[in-house]
Amino acid sequence: MALHRLTSITMGVPNVDEVAAYYQEFGLVPDDSSDDGLWFTTRDGGRQLRIVHAPTRRLVDLHVGVDDDDDLGRAAHNLQLIGVAVNRGPRSISAIEKATGTRAVLEIAPRFTQDTQPATPYNGPGRYERNGARAPGVLRNDRVMPRKLGHAVLGSTDHAITEAFFVQGLGFRISDRIKGAGTFLRCSTDHHNILVLSAPVSFLHHTSWQVDDIDDVGRGAYAMLEDNPERHIWGLGRHYGGSNFFWYLKDPAGNFSEYYSDMDCIVDDQLWTPEDLEGAQGLFSWGPPPPPSFLHPEDLAALMTGTHSA
């Protein structure tokens, strides 16, 4: 695959300072080395979130890593074939997705590697990997800090156009579909880096951030909810599409943020068969059912009329 990772996203919100404070509490680290918006870093992925002002919450742009100039040229050609204008830079190209207004930037970047973390010992029926000791997850008291940006979920008023932009234009691969509702797309070995959802208005639905394991999913959410229980949206549970554990919270602009762990990995495209998911399978394998506000965020009507305010 010419594309190899989702390097960063820019989130537009009306209330920058409140949202920035939220993501710092969420475990991202402010980076003040640049003057082009507020940047935040993850433990392994570097600068991966930029927050800027926008009249309504939205995905302003996303950056995707490629290996070389040939990859840029190939994507530029494919975008032009589907009628998308391309801007060229010395080490990047950019294009605007027509339905959502999101700018995609392909940039030459080093491939992403993570240091292998030791597996957490789990006891099971007849299998005692941890003997005479408490589970490490209950002994941790350090702050949960996401390892990397995993994916962003984008509501689009024209699902077909947005999907074509990412797949036919940029070169994303399809991992699974949710019948009549969305498409899981990847630009790395992760099951998905973008999920495109059909929606009555274009908006950013959620961003998702990798943590070490299910204990850190729970610990991260617990810390965020301890003094602010109204942030809770949905969790704890496990998805079917991607297989990851999840817990969703809501930031002050109305975007959802997800802690996740144990995402499906697709190294060889030949070994993965995309499925058409429907019903509950398209949303989760187990856990509490999603609340109505997850499927239809409470501010959608305001976003549609342009009257949204944080």
Please give the pLDDT value at position 308: 54
pLDDT of residue 163: 98
- Nearest alpha-carbon partner for 294 in 217, 226, 239, 222: 239
Tell me the whole-structure pTM to 2 decimals. 0.96
**% of the chain residues with pLDDT over 70:** 98
What separation in angstroms does the CA of 263 have from each of 51, 131, 156? 26, 28, 24
Sequence-distant (6+) residues with CB within 8 A of 89 are none
pLDDT at 301: 86
Domain spans of the chain, in order of start? 3-111+141-305
Looking at domain 3-111+141-305, its CATH class is alpha beta
d(CA 244, CA 223): 20
Residue corresponding to tokens 């080490």? 91
DSSP result, 163-223: HHIIIIII--EEEEEETTTEEEEESSSBS-SEEEEE-SS-EEEEEEEE-SSHHHHHHHHHH
On the question of pLDDT at 306 being above 80, the answer is no
In this predicted model, what pLDDT tens digit does every residue of 251-296 receive, in sequence order?
999 999 999 999 999 999 999 999 999 988 999 999 999 999 998 9
Question: Looking up tokens 């602009």, which residue turns up?
Answer: 253
- The whole-number average pLDDT for the span 22-38 is 90
The pLDDT confidence band at residue 307, using thresholds 50, 70 and 90, is low
Identify whether 236 is preceded by a cis peptide bond (ω within 30 of 0). yes
pLDDT at 169 over 70: yes
